[in-house]
A and B are shown apart, each in its own frame.
Chain A
Amino acid sequence: MNIIIPIKQVPETSNVKMDPETGTMIRDGVESIINPLDLYAIEVGIQLKEEHGGKVTVITMGPPSASKALKEAIAMGCDDGILITDRKFAGADTWSTAYVLAEAIKEIGEYDLVLAGERATDGDTGQVGPNIAAYLDLTLGTYISKVEEVNKEKIVVERLLEEGYEKLELPLPSLLTVVKEISYPRLPTLRGKQRARKTELPSLTVKDMNVDESKLGLKGSPTRVVKIETPKVTRGGTIVSAKDDDQLEAAVDKLVEFLKSKEIV
């Protein structure tokens, strides 16, 4: 079973800074990590490979420094990594990103499954997975929480919904986006890290792919960011202390009054 996993390198979200002039993220000095939600896809991919043979290829679109994410995935147990990189990709929105990733998947050719994280923690759109499936006309399962059964022709999975779960049977190849519930990502091993260091990462650029240049980067993106604001978070609410019994009684009474004033009680 050959599996392709598109991943994204994201900034560690706890210390993101924005450039107020350009509205873009200041990536300098911010640690980059594999999108945490992609780790679940990587884990499932490795598990499926261990059980059924084949190989796992991770791909990412980004600057050359994004190869670090590919190396980390290989250290976890993926076999190959391909960096999709070109200045012409800069400024791509989800449509254009998915277009390039889908064309790269076409170049790679033989695969049985494409696995992706539910969404990335920076852009938080969850669109690129379904986008790729639509472009390649691959059958799609989103929010997958469990792989129940897999053989040469099909895969049976559980999908997490708002009010429960549903079970789907998809033919292979298909594209699945997975949620956290599906696995517990392993840590890279020392041997994995050594192997990752030795693994060569081929790259794909515009000239290696059959892409329409008018669909690349900012120019090829239907959407435009027109404004970036940093929202005010602090609400300046009433904070009361409940250190002893009297304070506790008074604080809870005040809370009940507050709930009444908001017409909740």
Chain B
Amino acid sequence: MEYKNIWTMAETRNGNLKDVSFELLSRGRALADKLEESLVSVVIGNNVNKEQLNELILRGADKVIVVEDAKLSDFIVETYSNLLVDMIGNYRPNIILSAATVNGRTLMPHVAMRLHAGLTADCTDLDIEEETRNLLQTRPAIGGNILATIKTPDHRPQMATVRPKSSKPLDIDESRTGDIEYIKFNTSLLDNRVKKLESKHEVGGDINIQAAEIVIAGGKGMKKSENFTMLKELADNLGGVVGASRDAVDRGWATYPQQVGLSGKTVTPKLYVAVGVSGAIQHLAGMKTSEVIISVNSDPDAAIFQVSDFGIVGDLFEVIPLLNSKLAKEVK
């Protein structure tokens, strides 16, 4: 049986599909059309919202495969990997795309190793090579200094993780139809060795900077922890969250989950505002693919201005409060 069709891995949380599930479909749709193969969204979880399953079809999937079981409500990589390896053996997908999230970047390498499949992490661009019909996967490496294009000529499936927020979901098309196939979870695939004891959700909501449309990041120029309140205010005015440079995190002004850059997170929001961030190459590696970049810095030679679409050379303690007051008026 030949390897055929494109799979995208939906992610669920408490029975709801995360946004990345829909973002992946717009990537997958383009590949499926080029290859003239089907686009299948794979959903693993428990009590998944039925309306959202249908939305997967309306936003590009030709088919949805759902595996639901109470024992799948928590992400346990060993069990999820057993299940996915089993499904891949039965269905033989040509390409599997997953979000480059904490769980996606855990499950995909686990599965790829067991199948001797090629996996490319954190892709920013995907295409099909015309002559060979191989998947071309482009990703930044070496701190964003290079863009490497990678392919997997002789191993199947071809697997890739894709950065969250790096593509937009397709609009809902009510005329689209497709099957939703439910597969029974074979409990022999269950691996009971690891137990999830509890989950704690951070209060404040700033932690998931990778899912945010707008990120306001503070750097060394913020001078102290209390000054981050003006960034929070700016984030609230624009509907975003607060991130930070490594300098700010190392000084304890912000938490590690907020850190943007090489040793923190890579973000690709619609708008990135860098305040008091000089733009060290390690920081740029984590944010330079943002759609729009705005920066405020007192040093006209700061490297951050080179990657900015709009920059203000000035005192951030004057600029940000004034901006906040003007924005507050605009919002009214």
A interface, CB within 8 angstroms of B: 11, 13-14, 16, 18, 23, 25, 36-37, 93-95, 98, 121-135, 139-143, 145, 156, 159-171, 174, 179-181, 215, 221-231, 233-235, 237-243, 247-249, 251-256, 258-259, 262, 264-265
Contacts and interface: CB of A to CB of B under 8 A. Distances in A.
A230 B145 contact: yes
Of listed B145, B151, B305, B307, residue having the most chain A CB within 10 A: B145
22 contacts: A124-B262, A127-B105, A130-B77, A142-B102, A165-B200, A167-B199, A170-B194, A171-B193, A223-B152, A224-B150, A225-B149, A226-B150, A226-B151, A228-B148, A235-B308, A238-B309, A240-B310, A241-B312, A242-B312, A242-B319, A252-B323, A258-B310
B143 interface: yes
Contact of A251 (B145, B202, B314): B314
A103 B262 CA distance: 30
Interface stretch (B41-49, B58-66, B112-120): B112-120
Contacts of A143: 102, 106
Interface string B140-168: 11111111111111110000000000000
Contacts of A181: 256
B207 interface: yes
Nearest to A129: B109
A150 B240 CA distance: 39
A165 B312 contact: no
B204 to A, nearest CB: 10
A14 B201 contact: no
A145 B101 CA distance: 16
A223 B120 contact: yes
Interface in B266-319: 270-271, 280-282, 284-285, 288, 292-294, 300, 305-315, 318-319
A130 B148 CA distance: 22
Interface residues of B, number: 93
Q: Chain A: interface secondary structure?
A: mixed
Contacts of A131: 109-110, 112-113
Contacts of A129: 109
B144 to A, nearest CB: 7
Nearest to A245: B318
Contact of B202 (A156, A163, A229, A233): A163
B285 to A, nearest CB: 8
Given A128-B109, A130-B113, A256-B326, 17 more contacts: A122-B143, A123-B142, A130-B106, A134-B111, A139-B193, A162-B210, A163-B207, A164-B207, A167-B199, A233-B307, A235-B308, A237-B310, A241-B300, A248-B319, A251-B314, A251-B319, A256-B327
Q: Which 9 A-B pairs have the closest CB atoms?
A: A242-B314, A222-B118, A164-B201, A222-B155, A130-B109, A134-B113, A127-B109, A125-B121, A227-B149
Contact of B78 (A139, A231, A256): A139
Contacts of A265: 238, 327, 330-331
Nearest to A12: B143
Nearest to A230: B146
B225 interface: no
Nearest to A15: B281
B145 A16 contact: yes
B61 to A, nearest CB: 23
B109 A256 contact: no
A3 B302 CA distance: 43
B195 interface: yes
Given A124-B141, A163-B202, A229-B146, A252 B207 contact: no
| Residue among B114, B141, B153, B331 with max Cβ neighbours from chain A (10 Å) | B141
Contacts of B143: 13-14, 16, 121-122, 124
Contacts of B233: none
B113 A225 contact: no
Nearest to B281: A14
Contact of A264 (B120, B140, B270): B270
Contacts of A222: 112, 116-119, 152, 154-155
B323 A164 contact: no
Which of B154, B271, B312, B326 has the most chain A CB atoms inside 10 A of its CB?
B312
